[in-house]
Structure 1
């Protein structure tokens, strides 16, 4: 009961922006930035200005703000509140311009069409903060655009929205969830670091792997810890993750930006390298604890190193015991190590009727693995899945896909571990032809037996 109460309190706290939280800021341009909310700290957003971290604490995640003068902020209903409404005080005052029915008279002259210089723009920016300065700057840029009246109404609307996204000093504070962290990496074009994984494929993998509280899962994650993070969010502090890795230490740098404490990660995440996993009995460290008087006589730094070492030894022994016992509740495999040669060797560590999920950027690799599973008969229904979500941009009356969005999200193979019974005979309705053949074979056996006895 107490555990449920503490978990409820923690979940409620995660809905409120607090000190020492890692959060992700979304700017009007769509760009994102990960920051830590430090007490009395100043957060810089580059050309959008800076603000004091204390002013956003206590608000709910998803709250939007506008940067004012003196590093202060003002809460808003949304990041675009009032910008699209022409009657709103927050909207950009657009000078009176005519428009064209089409773009036939529009000539691309590059920077020559804009009469406002970069020096004038910087001068207006220095006049203060807040959305009033941004609106003044956008109005100045539109007035200095000599071809603005030759654009169509739709082109003019798109131009204004583009400038609002560029100069509006607003931002939204969102929780650093696995999905937001993954999208941040994709937007920064760091696809290699996350193996090309997409948000929708990650969600499907968690569902097919049946990740739930209390489970004991075998995981290989080379996305920097995003897959492990997604699993931790679904496990709610109950269960363990045995994390396989190829190096001396697992590459889980993204977990450092989550709001999980070191004690929580130590309790749930059990790292183990491949050599220790394949030969658990031969890799158990034989390091016993020192007597209490010896530990007390150690210098402070040496005593701390000793405690850290004993903590790692204990964690490693627990992981090796899990491996020797086997019977994991599922396998989630996201690695550049070819699964065709490795995954079949570790399937025996998964308990029966448990799910396995193997991810790859390339479908051909998973096809080869599915052929092995079909012959091996230890994986039921090995299927390959993919999901592609296309983003669209809209203005009133117009809709078309975003041409610069990142495509693809990888593939994954999912199946259920089964344990075939040795010597089992298939049952079911046999065809009359097959039954007749079997009956003739039985008659021949009886005749041969009678002749031999005679």
Structure 2
């Protein structure tokens, strides 16, 4: 089976980069038409099972479809017609001409809108009857410009590229990764919904947290699932090849929901009769549903959320819907969710209380009996997750949310194993600095002098460090290189390591110290 990033498969999300540079996310649904507004429309089947990272031209009417654009053609369009093969003499002559034109500048050039002789009505008419996927229109605009000869080579290329981005009906298909989705949310959508979390900051969090395949990771995510998606991508759990042709039988679906496969929700088993006999058939003994599948204990993500249901809406871009999860998706069995009440005070949560068995379970109707079994299986699943979380032993903690960090770390840090990494993100400096102060040396000395107590234990986290990373975009042009001033998002990250318990430290020191081993051998 092809990898999700090898070919464009049905019912997957893809990222289109339009000539203007604006990204757009679409779902490839077979036998439908995809519309890109002013750039035109094309059938979705024209993209199916094609490789990613290709550039397509939308064919003009009456044709319908796409044409693959070669790399050489893209280069010529970007450079304004350059890139053709030429002899050495022609290349030298062309270089001398460019050097002479480079001495010219546009200091005395007046930008006159009347220099463009084509009116807007003529441009719209040319768009309707034009050909070449918009290239003919760009050439008409260049030929009708009366002041084109006054432009320097740089300004001419810039003008040509601007018109190409505006009128060329072309796009590039890119795979939708976590990095691409992060940039899309920052540039197009509302960045405050993901706490202004930038791609480089997200990568720093994963590196500081030492996220790798095989571990158990505790995550507090209030970015809509972006942090969970990044961790799942590192663990190999994010990408899934959807197969709409695969269907499950009624028995398998009932078993997955916790119902008894032999139960009859309409009670037809009570009145089943044989031919010539009106005596109701004897009800078969009720079959208890199979025990729930064992909980995954490695390569898992445990999400703690403040609401009744977790907010993982961004996982829909990776073929996973929390309201209607796909059983074959890796996240279905490796993503565990709990709310804070189930972690802090599990005995007060109604979900963790075993549903009482109704009296006369063997005699009630099949539908009610199946409903009880579904509640029982749901309780068993949530109880197993809560017990595994309370047992601790997680390999790392990653936090990105609005909640007060002192309360989050008070309950989350004790669930980690020794030497586990703790990474906290905040969109501003103050929460991270306050969090680092909670585990400072002064706080530890005060805690030890007071004999400990309840609340946050500052001795559990070692070497808290506040970091900031930001890869700024630069506009690189001849003689005018400067950073882009419109980019936002300046989040801070705090990293630390949980202190190992004294028993673990003693055992490790005794087992690994050469001096102690030599003393033991001499003494023996």
Sort the TM-score into its range (normalised by shorter chain).
0.7 to 0.9
Work out the CA distance in 2 between the residues paired with 1:329 and 1:146: 68
Question: Map of 1:10-409 to 2, 5 A cutoff?
Answer: 12-69=3-60, 70-78=63-71, 80-84=74-78, 86=81, 101-108=104-111, 111-128=113-130, 132-188=132-188, 190-237=190-237, 239-260=299-320, 262-263=326-327, 264=329, 265-283=331-349, 284-287=352-355, 294=364, 296-297=366-367, 312-374=378-440, 375=444, 376-394=458-476, 397=478, 400-401=481-482, 403=484, 405-409=486-490
Return the offset for 1:402.
Answer: 5.7
Q: Deviations over 1:275-317 (max 9, x none)?
A: 222112332132267858757346xxx96x8787666544422
**Distance in 2 between residues matched to 1:402 and 1:306, nearest whole Å:** 62
Q: CA–CA distance in 1 between the matches of 2:365 and 2:211?
A: 41
Whole-angstrom distance in 2 between the partners of 1:182 and 1:292: 53
CA contact (8 A) 1:331 1:357 kept: yes
* Structure 1: gaps spanning 5 or more residues: 1-8, 90-97, 426-454
1:228 Cα deviation (Å)?
0.6
Distance 1:128 1:160, change over 3 A: closer
State the alpha-carbon separation in 1 of the partners of residues 374 and 151 from structure 2. 67
CA distance in 2, matches of 1:121, 1:384: 55
Give the secondary structure class of the aligned counterpart of 2:472: coil
| C-alpha distance in structure 1 between counterparts of 2:69 and 2:373, whole Å | 49
Tell me, in whole angstroms, the C-alpha distance in 1 between the residues paired with 2:372 and 2:182. Answer: 37
For structure 1, which segment, 149-158 or 242-251, has the greater mean C-alpha deviation from structure 2 after superposition?
Answer: 149-158
Indicate the SS of the match to 1:17: coil
CA distance in 1, matches of 2:35, 2:374: 36
CA RMSD of aligned residues (A): 3.0
Q: By how many angstroms is 1:167 displaced?
A: 1.8
Distance (whole Å) between structure 2 residues aligned to residue 241 and residue 323 of structure 1: 11
In the TM superposition, what whole-angstrom CA distance separates every residue of 1:163-220 from its partner, at most 9, and x where no partner exists?
2122222211111110000011111152101111111111111111111222221111
- Alignment gaps of 5+ in structure 2: 85-100, 238-297, 445-457, 507-524
Q: Assess, with a 3 A threshold, how the Cα gap between structure 1 residues 332 and 311 changes in structure 2: closer, same or farther.
A: farther
Shift of 1:66: 1.6
Provide closer, same or farther for how the CA distance between residues 121 and 314 of structure 1 changes in structure 2, counting only shifts above 3 A: farther
1:68–1:369 CA distance, 2 compared to 1 (3 A): same
1:379 deviates by 1.3
Deviation at 1:142, TM superposition (A): 2.8
- Contact 1:390 1:401 (8 Å CA) reproduced: no
Query: Does structure 1 conserve the Cα–Cα contact (< 8 Å) formed by 2:475 and 2:481?
Result: yes
Counterpart contact for 1:106–1:147, Cα < 8 Å: no
Label 1:250 to 1:190 Cα distance change in 2 as closer, same or farther (>3 A).
Answer: same
Partners of 1:30 and 1:188 in 2: CA distance: 11
Task: Determine the structure 1 residue equivalent to 2:290.
Answer: none
Q: 1:100 touches 1:151 (CA, 8 Å); kept in 2?
A: no
Q: CA deviation at 1:341?
A: 3.9
**Is 1:412 matched up with 2:405?**
no
Q: Please, what TM-score do these two structures have when normalized by structure 2?
A: 0.69
User: Residues 17-70 of structure 1: CA distance to partner in whole angstroms, max 9, x if unpaired?
Assistant: 111111111112111111111111111111111111111122222222221133
Paired position in structure 2 for 1:445:
none
Residue 83 of structure 1 aligns to a residue whose secondary structure is helix
Residue pair 2:58, 2:133 contacting (<8 A) in 1 also? no
Could you tell me how far apart the structure 1 residues matched to 2:57 and 2:373 are?
Answer: 48
1:77 positional shift: 3.7
- Cα separation, 2, equivalents of 1:409 and 1:372: 22
